Structures are given as structure tokens and as C-alpha cells.
Structure 1
Amino acid sequence: MLIINSVALVTGANRGIGAEFVRQLLERGAAKVYATARNVDTIDVDGVEILALDITDESQVRDVAVRASDLTLLINNAGVSSGVDLLGGDLSRIRSDLETNLFGALHLTRAFAPVLKSNGGGAILNVLSAAAWFSAPGASSYAMTKAAAWSLTDATRVQLASQGTCVTGLLMAMVDTDMTAGIDIPKSSPASIVTAALDGIEAGAVEVIADDVTLGLKAQMHLDPAARYGSMIRVKSS
């Protein structure tokens, strides 16, 4: 599908990658952009329709789907990373991560699938992460939620193909946003990630690998976990 003249909705549109999606959608000629966030006061951009949305609240999601009945492009961008340890951390926070990163995207997809069908099919973009393919200490909860969201993307892609809806997964490593502010390693710019994503949508891609690190991980997916993780998973003798 083409971005020009599309009607798009972006979750988590108040900062980082979400705000960049809004900017580039307008730049590419989208007819309308619904910019959503829990706190709409943090959305500061002209030319969009701002909607309050907590993606973990099913009733809010349904209300927004009624409001945005002209939608042709859904961008499931909103996400969280609590950094909670899977084994010793607060289980309620881990569940909260899942509610946002997995069930939030599912709520939006369920609500908007019939809308997209009625408008010719359209597309859904799920913002995932290279962490779906490689877990590491300190990011285990986040990795689990993104792996689940990756599986959700595959499942909904298969189900929605018959109605003409393309479901695309966007995967990338570290991006220079508030979420990664405390991590001192090379990062991609939000602009480069969003450009790759929108180019992929227009090309009909079902998966967008947005940086070289993620491309390298993709190339290792066929390997045995012992080869992929190496000493990280080598069991030590007592």
C-alpha cells in the first residue's frame, strides 16, 4: 500500500519512534494521522487528530476503533521495558509488560481488523525488537514479551491475509530513544528505523529488518541455541 492518502493510527505517538512515525507519515502525504497516547498532553504536533488511548484498556480500544472508522494503516508502536528480572522480579510488573507489549497489540488488531477489511484491507505494522530473537541478562522480561509479539505478528498475518490486510513485523536493535538513554552502545536513529518501516509497508514486505545488528541475528536463527548463545548458557559444574 502507499502511504500517500492513507489514514494511519500510531500508538505511543508522544515520543521516540512513535513521534517519528507521525512526522514521516505527514511528510509522505498521509491524508490523516491519528496520534494516540495515554497522556495526550505530551503529543506536540500540528496536523494530526489526537486521541487518548491506553492500549491495555479494551473498552478504550473499541471506542477508538469506532472513532477511527476510516483507518487503512495501524501502527502498533506503544511498548514498555520495565527491566524486571524474570526469575526474581515483581511478577505483577512482568504481567504489566505483557499487557502492553503483547495484549495491547492484540487488542488493537482485534478491534481494527474489521475496520481495515471494510476499507479495502490496508496494513498493520507491529513494532517488535531484535530481543525477540536473542535474550540477555537485564532484558529477559522485555525479550519474552517481544518474542510473544513476534509470534502474534505471524499468527495474525496468516489470519488476516484472506481479507487483504498485510501484517508487517518491524525488528531492530538499539534505537536512540528515552527507553535506551542509560545504555552506552551504538544506536540507530528513530528516523532511519521509521524510514525503513514505511518503505517496507509500501513494498508489501511482511518483515522489515531495520539495522545490521538485527540482520546478523536473523542470519543465526538456524543455529542450535548452544551455538547462538555460547558461554552464556554453558552450565557450570558445582
Structure 2
Amino acid sequence: MQIEGAIALVTGANRGIGLALVQALAEGGARHIYGTARNPESFPPGELPPPAQFSALRLDLSDGESIEDVAALANDVTLLINNAGSLSGGALLAAPPEAIRGEMATNCFGLIEVTRLFAPVIARNGGGVILNMLSVSSLASAPDLGIYATSKAAAWAATQAMRTSLAADNIRVLSAFPGPVDTDMSSELEVRKASPGSVAEALIAGIEREDPEIFPDDMARQAEAVWRSDPAMLIRQFSVL
């Protein structure tokens, strides 16, 4: 898919990877970019493309009506990037049920609902691409990230189902598996992190190639090599992180 001339929508676009994606899409020549956030006033004005190229919209993944409103407004989209997400630390079986439900609601069910409403939009516009932002934790879980890993693994399973169901509509569904990225969401993780800008650049390149799986940073690519050759080994490696 060519970024130049595309009309894109990025969820969770007011900071971190989402904001970096907005900037990279603008630099790549996207005709228009819709960026969503629960509070559109939270976008940093000095870091956004010009108004002719960018629109800020309110979207709350826990609010189905707000998703419907955005799908009605952004009815010319050809590229959807499901970037919005949350990260809750904690072992899965020690977590309170409400914490698990909340993480699943954002990282999996919200992603499914946005895709459900935007797939017909993209199909009517002649087809396009959907990129789901997952994580290397979709493939293996560290002990203290069990809640997050469970929600992202569920989103990975949903992504594969979407590929099957949307192929006939000329919609390619891609998945991204970043490692730790230097954003507010991962501020408490004391590990080496990739920059949002470098991750966004790799994601844009992967979209243009229509790579089914995109591993956009060094840690992610190391995990990919293990995952493709010996998935059980990746699980063992993550189990001691």
C-alpha cells in the first residue's frame, strides 16, 4: 500500500507511537490523517501536521457510541492503525478480575469493535490495510506482564481471524510486534527501549510492503528469530525476564 495519497486513521494518536505514526504518515504524503484520543485537546499542537492534513477526533474504546461516531465522520479511510492500548503490570492469576477485564476491553475487544465498524468503510473505498498494534508479549509472556500478554495474545488471535474474513473485501490485515518502546505507557519498565520515531518509521515501511507481521525494533527482531525457529524457546526466555 502506498502511504502517499492514503487516508489514515490512527487510534491512541496523542502521544508515543501513535503521535510518531501521525508524523510519519504526514511525512510520507498521506492525504489526510485522523488521529483519535479519549480527549482530543490532549494533542500537542506544535507536533501535529497542518489542519488541512490532520483531524483530531474523540474516541474511547470503552464507548461503543464514540466508535460509531468516528466511523461515520471518517468515512473515507483506506488505512486503519489500531494503536490505542493499555499496559497493566501483574501476574495473570494474582490479578483482580476487574483488572483483567479492563485490559481485555481495551487491547482486544476495543480493537475488534473499531475494526468491525471500519472494515465496511475501507471496503466501500476500494480496500486497503488494517494494522493491529500487538506486542512481542503476544507471543510469549514475562511473569509480571501476564495480564497484558493475555490481552495481546487474544488480539493476535483476533487479527488472524480478521485476515481470513476480510481478504475477500480487498483488505489486508497486518500485525505489529514491537518490543519495549520509550513511551509513557512503558515508563515503569526498566529495560532498553526503542524510540517511538524509529518504530513508526519501521511500521510505515512494513505497511508499504504489506508485511503480514512487522517486528519494528532490535529486541522485536531478536524475538522474531527465536519465535520462527523455536517458539517454545521464546516462551522459556521470556519466563525468566
- Does TM-score exceed 0.5, indicating one fold? yes
Give TM-score scaled by structure 2 length.
0.91
Q: How does 1:90-169 map to 2 (within 5 A)?
A: 90-169=96-175
| Pairing partner for 2:60 from 31, 43, 54 | 54
Contact 1:73–1:122 (CA under 8 A) maintained in structure 2: yes
C-alpha spacing 1:165/1:181, structure 2 compared with 1 (3 Å): same
* Number of residue pairs aligned between Structure 1 and Structure 2: 233
Contact 1:220–1:228 (CA under 8 A) maintained in structure 2: no
Relative to structure 2, which stretch is displaced further, 212-221 or 59-68? 212-221
Q: How does 1:1-238 map to 2 (within 5 A)?
A: 1-44=1-44, 45=48, 46-47=50-51, 48-221=54-227, 222-223=229-230, 225=232, 228-229=235-236, 232=239
C-alpha spacing 1:72/1:134, structure 2 compared with 1 (3 Å): same
CA distance in 2, matches of 1:76, 1:224: 26
CA offsets 1:134-164 (integer angstroms, 9 cap, x no match):
1112111001111111111111011111111
C-alpha spacing 1:230/1:199, structure 2 compared with 1 (3 Å): closer
Supply the AA of the counterpart residue of 1:117.
Answer: A
Give TM-score scaled by structure 1 length.
0.92
- Where 2:165 maps in the other structure, the secondary structure is helix
Give 1:58 shift: 1.6
CA distance in 1, matches of 2:95, 2:112: 25
- Where 2:150 maps in the other structure, the secondary structure is helix
Supply the AA of the counterpart residue of 1:10.
Answer: V
Which runs of 5 or more structure 2 residues have no equivalent in the other structure?
none
Give 1:68 shift: 0.7
CA offsets 1:193-223 (integer angstroms, 9 cap, x no match):
1111111111121111112322222233353
Give 1:125 shift: 0.6
Relative to structure 2, which stretch is displaced further, 184-193 or 71-80? 184-193
Give 1:62 shift: 1.3
Give 1:232 shift: 4.4
CA distance in 2, matches of 1:231, 1:150: 18
Give 1:85 shift: 2.9
- Where 1:138 maps in the other structure, the secondary structure is helix
Which runs of 5 or more structure 1 residues have no equivalent in the other structure?
234-238
Contact 1:98–1:145 (CA under 8 A) maintained in structure 2: yes
C-alpha spacing 1:110/1:228, structure 2 compared with 1 (3 Å): closer
Structure that is richer in helix per residue: 2
Give 1:7 shift: 0.7
- Where 2:25 maps in the other structure, the secondary structure is helix
CA distance in 1, matches of 2:66, 2:195: 31
Supply the AA of the counterpart residue of 2:85.
Answer: G
Contact 2:177–2:214 (CA under 8 A) maintained in structure 1: yes
Supply the AA of the counterpart residue of 2:23.
Answer: R
CA distance in 1, matches of 2:112, 2:238: 36
C-alpha spacing 1:84/1:227, structure 2 compared with 1 (3 Å): closer
Contact 1:84–1:90 (CA under 8 A) maintained in structure 2: no
Supply the AA of the counterpart residue of 2:114.
Answer: L
CA distance in 1, matches of 2:61, 2:21: 17
CA offsets 1:23-52 (integer angstroms, 9 cap, x no match):
111111111111100011111224311111
Relative to structure 2, which stretch is displaced further, 205-214 or 119-128? 205-214
C-alpha spacing 1:144/1:231, structure 2 compared with 1 (3 Å): closer
Supply the AA of the counterpart residue of 1:11.
Answer: T
Supply the AA of the counterpart residue of 2:173.
Answer: V
Equivalent pairs: percent with the same residue? Answer: 42
CA distance in 2, matches of 1:26, 1:88: 43
Contact 1:34–1:51 (CA under 8 A) maintained in structure 2: yes
